[in-house]
Amino acid sequence: MNRFTHQMTSYWQQMLSVMRNEFRTIFTDAGVVLILVLALIIYATVYSMAYGAQVLRNVPIGVVDECRTPTSRSLIETFNAGPNTYVAYNPTSMEEAKDLFFKRKIYGVVYIPSDYEEKLLGGLQANVAIYADASYFLMYRQVFQEVVTSIGATGAMVEFQRLIAKGANLPQAQATTQPVIVGITANEEVCRRMVYNSIGLVTALNPYLGYGTFVMPAIIMVIIQQTMLIGIGMIGGTWREFGLYRKLCPPDRKRMSTLPIVLGKALVYGMIYSVTTFYILGLHYKLFHYPMNGATGTIVVFMLAYMAACIALGIAISTLFRYRENSLLLLLWTSIPLLMLSGVSYPREGIPDWLFNLGQIFPSSHGVNAFIRIQSMGASLSEVLPEIRMLCILALVYGGLACIGIHLVLNRADKDDIPAPHTSEPEK
């Protein structure tokens, strides 16, 4: 019992020594403070401000009106009626419109032929051509959606007026021009996260179709992981570069133990990120009006599992770096690939299976999926339990690898500390 007590006391003292040194290393190193403490707040704020408008509005388009009649002008007015587009130019020919398009002054062209009014009022099918810039998907969606909706509404109105002129009553004319009406019945909990737009379509979970609401949850999860990996890697390189594995060893021991080092480091990073993530998931989310549909308990349990997996991975990777700069050089470029592998920037069904499965070894892939379901969709703890279970498994696996890596580094430090055998030069 005395031996066990002595061992636990030694472990406790070593862990406290590691924690004190870790805090001192972090808060006396401007580069590490920037990565571990400030980067998450800075990145989240800058991205949120960039996506603050949420929805792209007032996309400029050009209209080539060869009809030049009240009917065609009425159609053009509908393009200005909605918030998504406005008619910035009225080029007189398609060549002029093409020139404006390639100069990026407009992102779409609507061509109204000279026989538009004649065919429309004569009961024939009128053709209107739409040219939209598909090189920028957000621009393309806004232009195509607004123009097609306007043309469809105009056509329905003309048909409605024609039926009324022929003697049809209002219900008959409405049933002919709009034979199907979209209606959705949902329970109160679902309706709470839904919004009806102007054409009766229900958008759930992201009511205003905001780009920031869509992408920011995934970006925040990836930023948490990447800043941890880079920051912990920098400190791991500092430990090896300055021989801290030997300097922090208690006087009564020949070498430090593996477990106190891993636990001490993990506790420090966990405390730091508990503060920054509390700000991000609390005040920051409210400031930028992101959906907060998840229960507090579910978020806490998920974040504990996610941070444990990221910290364990960071400590394991940090044992590979001999110098502090190595982590920044080797890990910075992985952020975009990991965001893509999570299945957010591109649907999982379109990613090759082997590539998607490769992404499952990183905490961010499970973290992004679970966090979006919790915060945006209001998923319960039981509904995200598979992701949390995988994060716990990754935490155990990477925690084991971290212990092995620290053990190997301690052995290497012992070998470096052994003086080389003295060899005398042979007498001449």
Q: Please write the tens of the pLDDT for every residue from 149-161.
A: 877 777 666 666 6
Cα–Cα distances (Å) from 216 to 48, 127, 137, 388, 422, in that order, read 7, 41, 18, 20, 61
| Mean pLDDT computed over 260-273 | 93
Backbone angles phi, psi at 320, to 5 degrees: -85, -15
Backbone angles phi, psi at 202, to 5 degrees: -100, 125
Question: What pLDDT does residue 191 have?
Answer: 44
* Residues ≥6 apart with Cβ < 8 Å to 57: 83, 84, 142
Cα separation, 92 vs 65, whole angstroms: 7
Buried b / exposed e over 368-401, threshold 16 CB at 10 Å, is: bbbbbbbbbbbbebeebeebbebbeebbeebbeb
Confidence of residue 370 (pLDDT cuts 50, 70, 90): very high
* Predicted model pTM: 0.78
| The two three-digit tokens of residue 53, written as one number | 């408008």
Cα–Cα distances (Å) from 183 to 153, 174, 180, 235, in that order, read 19, 16, 9, 58
Confidence of residue 182 (pLDDT cuts 50, 70, 90): low
Q: Which residue has the higher pLDDT, 251 or 311?
A: 311
Q: Give helix then strand counts, H and E, for the chain.
A: 19, 6
The secondary structure of 166-201 as a DSSP string is TT--HHHHHHHH----------HHHHTTEEE-TTS-
Which range has the worst mean pLDDT, 34-38, 80-84, 344-348, 369-373?
344-348
Question: Among residues 245, 273, 242, 271, which one has the least CA distance to residue 258?
Answer: 245
* Residues ≥6 apart with Cβ < 8 Å to 80: 86, 87
Name the 3-class secondary structure at 253. coil
Confidence of residue 203 (pLDDT cuts 50, 70, 90): low
Name the 3-class secondary structure at 255. coil
Q: Look up residue 48 and give its DSSP letter.
A: H
Backbone angles phi, psi at 197, to 5 degrees: -95, -170
Confidence of residue 216 (pLDDT cuts 50, 70, 90): confident
Question: Among residues 110, 119, 176, which one has the least CA distance to residue 149?
Answer: 110
